[in-house]
Amino acid sequence: MLVATAATVLVVGGLVLGVVSSPGWPTVQETFLDPFHARESFPAILDGFWLNVTMFLIAEPLILALGLGLALARQSRSPLLVPLRAIAVAWTDVFRGIPTLVLVFLLVFGMPSLGLQGVPTSIFFWATVALVVSYSAYVAEVFRSGIESVHPSQLASADALGLSRGQAMRFVVVPQAVRRVVPPLLNDFVSLQKDTALVASVSLFDALFSARDYANFNFNYTPYVVVAVFFVVLTVPLARLTDALGRRYAERERAGAR
Amino acid sequence: MTGGTAGPLLEVQALRKTYGARLVLDDVDLSVGAGDVVCLIGSSGSGKSTLLRCVNLLEDIDDGRILLEGREISDPLVDQREVRSRMGTVFQAYNLFPHLTVLDNCTLAPRRVHGVARREAETRARALLEEFGLAEHAGQHPDRLSGGQQQRAALVRALCTEPSLLLLDEITAALDPELVGEVLAIVRRLAEQGTTMVLATHEMSFAREVATTVCFLHEGRILEQGPPEQILTAPREERTRQFLRRVLPG
């Protein structure tokens, strides 16, 4: 315990000392860590951050539903669903390959210029769609690996009880698969939370764009640090929540936890 | 043995099954009457499990016919789900659903396949769990139970749909020796109640005790079958004698 504390103090102290004693430190402190500019930029960034949070909250359930749908389409064995399976494969291949930022540009600028009746032109709408499309491809693969990790004997057991394939998926395979993929799913969602900041590049007033606006006007980069803190504060509780969920399942279902 | 008026409950005729070039079952004939307890014996790889998997349609067959209650179920046009819903199957490795409680494991098929109301399904499942000494485990998840308890739960799950035929695939083979007895006690009780069963087993003394018919399988064929006292004490075939010398002590 004592050794651990001493070692931590020594390492952290050394690192801080190294940074603080660097020749550029006073300049860095002035341009990145100015309390005045932090306070001044805070309200605008907070306003913008709600846009990130809103976008995340809208996109997340859509991504989960679409990702699971894509994974199930790839698992289907019915000959009637072959076209659906092909679309699911193509979807994952194409949208996982396109950088998310490029997808944001393509949809935000491309879709409204089609000039179709009834197609929304809102930047927020198409930026959210871009995130949903891009992340659903990742999440579909996560779900698929979860589904494939469930032992075939579970399906045999469901078959033997007379369950249809759809019922076996719904009541036996998917519930087990979802429990297993919660940690990698969380990883994707932390990543999604951060990628909502990509919409700053299409001039939506999110947290990052607000910070950039302030920084460019006042020649001070402190708002970027404020934005970073916002995102960290958002992700940490999500990580703890998932840990807690995982522990609860483990305690209830695994003999080893007894 | 059987009433004999309605014909056999299960009839297997000239069944042939291959995995690629390997012949696993060859010209298998088997007739199971209502109330019969048929024990399949034979060394590993002799085709016992495959025969059971063919009967509950988990495997496609290459040739021959399987009839359940006089109707051909090996016909590809038959609704396999409906057929399976009339049989209960218990596997060597239990195969309980780990994310469901024991009670939910037992009520899943009655509720989703047979359309039984939740309350009714649970009442019946609880009664069976009680009967088999698992009442206090109804709300627990399977991995919290011992192997013997899990296998008993798997038996209850199979019985909850009131199947007309029970298929047991070496259900004691994965258990510690001291847990085998509690599972066999249940099977014995089911046999006494007149449950029709086909079981693959390595427990010779158990087969002698409960079986109405013993079938000795060798290299995918039923080499001989008959009442247990005949097959297990005075077998006709040399292969059977060799097998019994290996598995029977003394």
Q: Which of residues 146-175 of A touch B (CB under 8 A)?
A: 153-154, 156-157, 159-164, 167, 171-172, 175
- What CA–CA distances, in Å, run from A35 to A42, A49, B16, B85, B216? 10, 19, 83, 71, 87
Q: Which of residues 228-257 of A touch B (CB under 8 A)?
A: 252-255
Q: How confident is the model at residue A30 (pLDDT cuts 50, 70, 90)?
A: confident
Which chain B residues are Cβ-neighbours of A163 within 8 angstroms? 81, 108-109, 112-113
Q: What distance in Å separates the CA atoms of residue A151 and residue A85, rounded to the nearest whole number?
A: 22
DSSP state of B235: -
Using 70 as the pLDDT threshold, list the residues of chain B that sit under it.
1-6, 250
Which chain B residues are Cβ-neighbours of A154 within 8 angstroms? 95, 97
**How does pLDDT run across A156-186, given as a tens digit for each residue?**
999 999 999 999 999 999 999 998 898 888 8
The larger pLDDT score, comparing residue A11 to residue A255, is at A11
Class of domain A34-248: mainly alpha
**How does pLDDT run across A191-215, given as a tens digit for each residue?**
899 899 998 888 888 889 999 999 9
pLDDT value at A67 more than 90: yes
CB contact under 8 A, A160 and B89: yes
The larger pLDDT score, comparing residue A249 to residue B70, is at B70
Question: pLDDT value at position B250?
Answer: 57
Distance from CA of B139 to the nearest CA of A (A): 11
Q: What distance in Å separates the CA atoms of residue B56 and residue A156, rounded to the nearest whole number?
A: 10
Per this entry, what is the length of chain B? 250
Q: Please, are residues A181 and A150 in contact by the beta-carbon 8 Å criterion?
A: no
- Overall average pLDDT of the A228-245 stretch: 86
Question: Phi first, then psi: what are they for A189, rounded to 5°?
Answer: -75, -35
Domain range annotation of chain B: 1-86+165-250, 97-163
| HSE (side-chain half, CA atoms, 13 Å) at B65 | 10
Question: pLDDT value at position B5?
Answer: 53
B46–A contact, CB cutoff 8 A: no
The CB density around residue B229, as the number of other CB atoms within 10 Å, is 11
Question: pLDDT value at position A254?
Answer: 64
Which chain B residues are Cβ-neighbours of A167 within 8 angstroms? 112-113
Question: pLDDT value at position A243?
Answer: 82
Q: How confident is the model at residue A100 (pLDDT cuts 50, 70, 90)?
A: very high
Nearest to B91 among A153, A162, A258 (CB): A153
Q: Which of residues 189-228 of B touch A (CB under 8 A)?
A: none
Percentage of chain A exceeding pLDDT 90? 57
- CATH number for the domain formed by residue range(s) B1-86+165-250: 3.40.50.300
DSSP assignment of B42-53: -STTSSHHHHHH
CB contact under 8 A, A167 and B141: no
Domain range annotation of chain A: 34-248
Comparing alpha-carbon positions, the chain A residue that sits nearest to B168 is A160
Two tokens at B45? 């790889």
Nearest to A253 among B82, B91, B143 (CB): B143
Q: Find the helix or strand (DSSP H, E) in which A111 lies.
A: helix A100-113
Question: pLDDT value at position B1?
Answer: 43
Q: What distance in Å separates the CA atoms of residue B223 and residue B52, rounded to the nearest whole number?
A: 17
Q: Please, are residues A74 and A136 in contact by the beta-carbon 8 Å criterion?
A: no
β-bridge mates for residue B28, sequence order: B15
Residue type present at position A253: E
ipTM score of complex: 0.87
Nearest to B99 among A153, A159, A253 (CB): A253
| HSE (side-chain half, CA atoms, 13 Å) at A187 | 7
